[in-house]
Amino acid sequence: MHWTRGRSWRECDEKRTEKKDPFYGILAGALLLFAACAAHLAPYDPYEQNLELSLLPPSAAHWMGTDRYGRDLFSRFSGARVSIFSALLVVAASALIGTLAGIFSGWLEGKTDTVLMQISDIFLAFPGMVFAIAFSGVLQSGMTGAVVSLILVSWPKYARLARNRVLALKHMPFIAAARLTGNGTWKMIGRHILPNLAGRRLSQRCLISER
């Protein structure tokens, strides 16, 4: 009875999330469009300081007011392009590297699995942001160093999720059937493993399976 209730609650939660997906998609698209065009929409120089205009409330001249240095806050949104697209790069690169590492770790198992998971354990053993700040300080290359350090911190999480999913998939009957038809490793990974990892509820399913 308890399992049925838990399942019903989960299904209802998924349905509510699906209904909100179009709204979130539109909101994300609008945010990306604004970030891409922010530099052209800024009415003032975002770095120009004028202490006489500090902490002004919103007005026709300054739509979102000014900060304590007199900089126009709406113009300061031009930095969103760097912040948002750097974050997207971190997520995309971390997901790609981590997923590939998790696929090979779970598919090959043995020594490959042991080595890759021990490497991921080393990265996970340190506090994420502390490790990222330290590595970024070593590189001393500004935004590039920050992006690289965040990728190094983030990829083990994706690797763990992908590995757990691959370990569950490789012992399923359809994988055994694919082996009997003579499919090679690369074809099986590309045709059967990757499509099952590309589901939008991959993280949710992996987290539920680990509990």
Work out the pLDDT band at 115, boundaries 50, 70, 90: very high
- Residues of the chain with pLDDT > 70, as a percent, come to 84
In the prediction, which pLDDT does 109 show?
Answer: 85
Q: Please give the residue that has the higher pLDDT: either 122 or 201.
A: 122
More confident residue, 194 or 206: 194
Q: Which pLDDT belongs to residue 206?
A: 44
The position carrying tokens 């690369």 is 186
Q: What are phi and psi of 126, to 5 degrees?
A: -100, 150
In DSSP notation, 13-60 reads HHHHHHHHHHHHHHHHHHHHHHHHHHHHH-SS-TT---GGGTTPPP-S
| pLDDT at 210 (0 to 100) | 42
> pLDDT (tens digit, 9 = 90+) per residue, 123-180?
888 888 888 888 878 877 778 888 888 998 899 999 998 998 898 888 888 888 888 8
Sign of CA dihedral 169, 171, 173, 177: positive
**70: alpha, beta or left? (left if phi > 0; alpha if psi -120 to 50):** left
Asked if 103 contacts 162 with a C-beta cutoff of 8 angstroms, the reply is yes
- Structure token pair of residue 48: 């120009």
In the chain, the amino acid numbered 183 is: N
